[in-house]
Amino acid sequence: MADQPISEATVGRLPDYLRTLVELAGDDVAGVSSKHLATQVGVNSATLRRDLSALGITGTRGVGYDVKYLLFEISRVLGVHQEWRVAVVGAGNLGQALVNYDGLTQRGFPIVVLFDNDESKVGSIMGGIVVHHVDHMAELVSELGVNVGIIATAAEAAQSIADAFVEAKIVSLLDFTAGPLAVPDHVVVRRVDLATELQILSFYQQRDTAVSGGTGVPLGA
Amino acid sequence: MADQPISEATVGRLPDYLRTLVELAGDDVAGVSSKHLATQVGVNSATLRRDLSALGITGTRGVGYDVKYLLFEISRVLGVHQEWRVAVVGAGNLGQALVNYDGLTQRGFPIVVLFDNDESKVGSIMGGIVVHHVDHMAELVSELGVNVGIIATAAEAAQSIADAFVEAKIVSLLDFTAGPLAVPDHVVVRRVDLATELQILSFYQQRDTAVSGGTGVPLGA
DNA sequence: TAGATTGTTAATCGATTAACAATC
DNA sequence: TAGATTGTTAATCGATTAACAATC
């Protein structure tokens, strides 16, 4: 029943805990110690106990945690018991990949509508979803009960789409474009930028394979 | 010429710096202060100066930093001057979206080969790339000079694909599947998990819209 | 010289983790 | 009671940032 605020780091670990717990439950494991679960997930057991404590989730001293209870509580905290209806803007390759990707629906995030500004795409069906014109975002988002928006357009359009989502009272956005988005404080944006991920990878590779020391060899401009 | 180690946090900010610097250079801005650049990027100016210092990048006291020099040095650190050749495993929707996505090539990460274990896909061309059978990974990865691998298969196949990449001497992997991958220490894996991103978003939304306080209302199991 | 801005020291903050009293 | 494990305190670690001497 602790009342520490829940840190971003803690929230980020919850899906990992959930994933491992689902496996344990599948194997009919009833109880688990913080040490065992932490090892499975790859975190320190004190960190795990602290995370659970922050969520108000308790175990039994000398015994451990009940797997089903953990599963239920973490699911509840993450909102897994609720269905989150997703709108995707951008019916290009990425948008199409998203609507064709079962994983999102399976984990409780069905894509219910796809928007594009290209008239030739409007009206067509992709992954079982009808493509609507972006001009109709406000009405449809409200009508369909959308509560999460995904921006999968070209970078130039991102800000105006974000504005439209905000206008439509969406407060959770996942952005696949690179630039920073200006949104009101109550709107949460998470960014997925594949090229940046690859750049970070290449940084490590370059550093680890570099002939060590020195200011570095200048390459062709 | 500082010799602090470069933190993961610093590396993660480099692409943001780069992006903003590209804009400044485009506007023909020649010099910039840490305060100005930091404001643009949305970080603290001391953090920015510390990051640059850690990379051995210097400015001029009383003046600021030279935009072109910053651009060149950060690019070099990130390996932007090198072409990173990417192999994607999994020619499903995600794999297809990746090969059709120009952004990666534009930022120096051309996908040069696509693998799948589905015989009916092998030999076909997607986004201009020939699909090869996963059994030929080792030879082709070496032949084509691949140095980054992307795992875009179903979750069950991820570990064996990772093993195959490791076998083929690839040390940088981007993984779109959920589970944890076991790889040797010298291999760097970054994970992109869309459902987890959405779960984190829904956590914040649930928390912020919740009727405050209390142990929470139990929902139907 | 006066003004500006870097590069770094020292303070602060927050997150992780060892350690252990509480207690099943 | 003896053994195990939680829940939390206190120590540690690392990253951020204010502040300022160095210096252009």
Checking if the pLDDT of A29 tops 90, the result is yes
Give the residues across from A132 on adjacent strands: A115
Asked whether B205 and A188 are in contact (CB, 8 A), the reply is yes
Q: Does B220 touch chain A (CB under 8 A)?
A: yes
* DSSP conformational letter for A88: E
Per-residue pLDDT at B172: 94
| CA of B53: nucleotide with nearest C1' | C7
Of the pLDDT bands very low, low, confident and very high (cuts 50, 70, 90), residue A72 is very high
Q: Does A111 touch chain B (CB under 8 A)?
A: no
Structure tokens at A134: 């972006």
**Residue A99 or residue A3, greater confidence:** A99
Q: What is the pLDDT of residues A155-200, one digit of tens each?
A: 899 999 999 999 999 999 999 987 778 899 889 999 998 988 999 9
Closest residue of A to B23, CA-based?
A179
For B109, which of A147, A171, A195 is closest by C-beta distance?
Answer: A195
Is any atom of strand C within 7 angstroms of residue B177's beta carbon? no
Q: Does A74 touch chain B (CB under 8 A)?
A: no
Q: What is the pLDDT of residues A4-19, one digit of tens each?
A: 678 989 999 999 999 9
Of the candidates B98, B137, B148, B144, which has an alpha carbon nearest to the alpha carbon of residue B115?
Answer: B137
Q: How far is B189 from B148, CA to CA, in rounded Å? A: 10
The whole-number average pLDDT for the span A145-155 is: 94
The whole-number average pLDDT for the span A132-161 is: 95
Is any atom of strand C within 7 angstroms of residue B60's beta carbon? yes
Of the candidates A84, A85, A88, A86, which has an alpha carbon nearest to the alpha carbon of residue A152?
Answer: A88
Residues whose CB falls within 8 Å of the CB of residue B60, separated by 6 or more in sequence, listed in order: B66
Could you give all domains of chain B from N- to C-terminal order, each with its CATH number? 8-77 (1.10.10.10), 86-197 (3.40.50.720)
DSSP chain B: ---PPPPHHHHHHHHHHHHHHHHHHHTT--EE-HHHHHHHHTS-HHHHHHHHHHTT---BTTTBEEHHHHHHHHHHHHTTTSPPPEEEE--SHHHHHHHH-HHHHHTT--EEEEEES-TTTTT-EETTEEEEEGGGHHHHHHHTT--EEEE-S-GGGHHHHHHHHHHTT--EEEE-SSS-----TT-EEEE--HHHHHHHHHHHHHHHHSPSSSS-PPPP-
Which residues from chain B sit within 8 angstroms of residue A24, using beta carbons?
Answer: none
For B202, which of A78, A194, A197 is closest by C-beta distance?
Answer: A78
Per-residue pLDDT at B4: 63
* Distance in Å, alpha carbon of A160 to nearest chain B alpha carbon: 19
The whole-number average pLDDT for the span A144-156 is: 94
Asked whether B127 and B100 are in contact (CB, 8 A), the reply is yes
Is any atom of strand D within 7 angstroms of residue A73's beta carbon? no
Per-residue pLDDT at A4: 62
Measured CA B44 to C1' C8 distance, in angstroms: 15
What is the full per-residue pLDDT of chain B (221 aa) written as tens digits? 445 678 989 999 999 999 999 999 999 999 999 999 999 999 999 999 999 999 999 999 999 999 999 999 999 999 888 889 999 999 988 898 899 888 888 888 999 999 999 999 999 999 999 999 999 999 999 999 999 999 999 889 999 999 999 999 999 999 998 777 889 988 999 999 888 899 999 998 888 776 443 333 332 22
Q: How far is B174 from B152, CA to CA, in rounded Å? A: 9
Task: Give strand D nucleotides closer than 7 A to any protein Cβ.
Answer: 3-9, 14-19, 22-24
First-to-final CA distance of chain B: 59
CA-angle at B7, arms to B1 and B9, nearest 5°: 125
B95 burial (CB, 10 Å; 0-12 / 13-18 / 19+) is: buried
DSSP A146-178: --EEEE-S-GGGHHHHHHHHHHTT--EEEE-SS
Give the residues across from B188 on adjacent strands: B172
Contact B100 A84 (CB under 8 A): no
Per-residue pLDDT at B185: 85
The whole-number average pLDDT for the span A62-68 is: 97
Checking if the pLDDT of A146 tops 90, the result is yes
Is any atom of strand D within 7 angstroms of residue A64's beta carbon? yes
Contact B104 A198 (CB under 8 A): yes
Q: How far is B76 from A218, CA to CA, in rounded Å? A: 8
